[in-house]
Chain A
């Protein structure tokens, strides 16, 4: 494990790491693909032009690391229907433009539904306390964010408050990606802050089952380069294991009090992730004990009523699923930067600040480099 503090945007060090990475990949003597599962990693890679430093034979793919992007179409439909039924829906800003089958929350809002943007579950509680209306918190995010939802549910919320959970759990989707037929993924970079909740230990059974190494990485460009060096070393050595290169944020056992609250409130169930697949244990839903706070059990949500009039749209051409599975990239999509732009997104990956398409739209995929590739 490399505990040396790495400096931010140190060109000499970047070159050195890039050269090491190139040497290691050359020793592999074949093309290899690794995957990260974190929007913030992709932001850093794109923003700092890191792909220009990666050896050509190493494909660094963004997997399903954007919680908003993997929120499935029927989940958006549930939010749209609840808003149309007259509840006051509150949700994170990224959720508004995500396309549902027929419409988005932004469309529903434009037609008069009440949809408020919040930054914290606590604001949802404050809104509920300020009104007698039914307030539904449409909650998205991975385990890092689900723990905060769990905390407000456990903190005696007002009686007019409920939760429509679209929370997702990252470890199971890594299994799905690793098991996809023809998967080329030989190693994973795990996201530092999500792992701060679960701890590095959560990845050990995965490594054992799939023989694929996992390196936990920070968000700084040098962190990512150093983590890739470690990952390729593990691939070369044929000794798959979990390496924690973000110890200042991630411990072995993780945040135990947060895990306790998470699993007291939520249970993992199987469900679809948009564009990816059915992910066993990938969705976090409220346990029976919290049925009174569960919007799905509190309201009748008649999804087919919304689907009756669904016209086929450009969305059918969207390849977000393949992008998140690492099979294709945004440049392979005929809609990317044409019909599909952040102002008018066709696919969810163009909506969120953590979506691959939005990130590539803003930064390009290779631009912004001020360090020469040495490979």
Chain B
């Protein structure tokens, strides 16, 4: 539940960003993110809120981890189900 999911910021409005999660575009709130966010940045989304701007040098590693997690997952896999739930949690 606290896992969170990373995505790439496409557009930023005042307190909301459009974020791309593997081709799925969702709205994410920016109320509680730790750093200012701009298009092209990556954020960690948890229950529809960006909780962290992922430092640029950590983006590749973070995305690779989640891609492996999702690619290898079977339908009943608990971790990937949590990750998918996080994508659902965005509007």
Q: Name A's B-contacting residues (CB within 8 A).
A: 5, 8-9, 38-40, 43-44, 47, 67-68, 92-94, 119-123, 126, 141-142, 144-145, 147-148, 150-151, 154-155, 191, 193-194, 196-197, 218-220, 248-249, 251, 254-258, 261, 352-354, 358-359, 362
B7 at the interface (CB under 8 A from A): no
Taking a contact as CB atoms closer than 8 A, the residue among B2, B68, B77 that contacts A193 in the complex is: B2
B24 interface residue per 8 A CB criterion: no
Cross-chain contact A248 with B48 (CB below 8 angstroms): no
Within 53-91 of B, Cβ neighbours of A (below 8 Å) are at: 54-55, 57-58, 61-62, 64-65, 68, 76-79, 81-82, 85-86, 88-91
In the bound complex, residues from chain A placing their C-beta under 8 Å from that of B76 are: 362
Question: B1 and A8: CB pair below 8 A?
Answer: no
Which of B3, B34, B47, B58 has the most chain A CB atoms inside 10 A of its CB?
A: B47
Top 10 A-B residue pairs of the complex, sorted by shortest distance between their CB atoms: A120-B48, A248-B58, A119-B89, A120-B89, A258-B32, A151-B31, A255-B34, A144-B2, A353-B78, A148-B49
Is the CB–CB distance between A121 and B48 below 8 Å? yes
28 examples of A-B residue contacts, CB within 8 angstroms:
A5-B61, A38-B2, A40-B2, A44-B79, A119-B89, A120-B48, A122-B29, A122-B48, A123-B48, A141-B1, A142-B2, A144-B2, A145-B46, A148-B29, A148-B51, A151-B49, A193-B2, A193-B3, A193-B46, A219-B3, A219-B79, A248-B54, A248-B58, A248-B61, A248-B62, A249-B62, A257-B34, A261-B31
Q: How far is the CB of A32 from chain B (nearest CB, A)?
A: 26
Residues of chain B within 8 A (CB-CB) of A8 are 64-65, 68
- CB-CB under 8 A from B34, the residues of chain A are 196, 251, 254-258
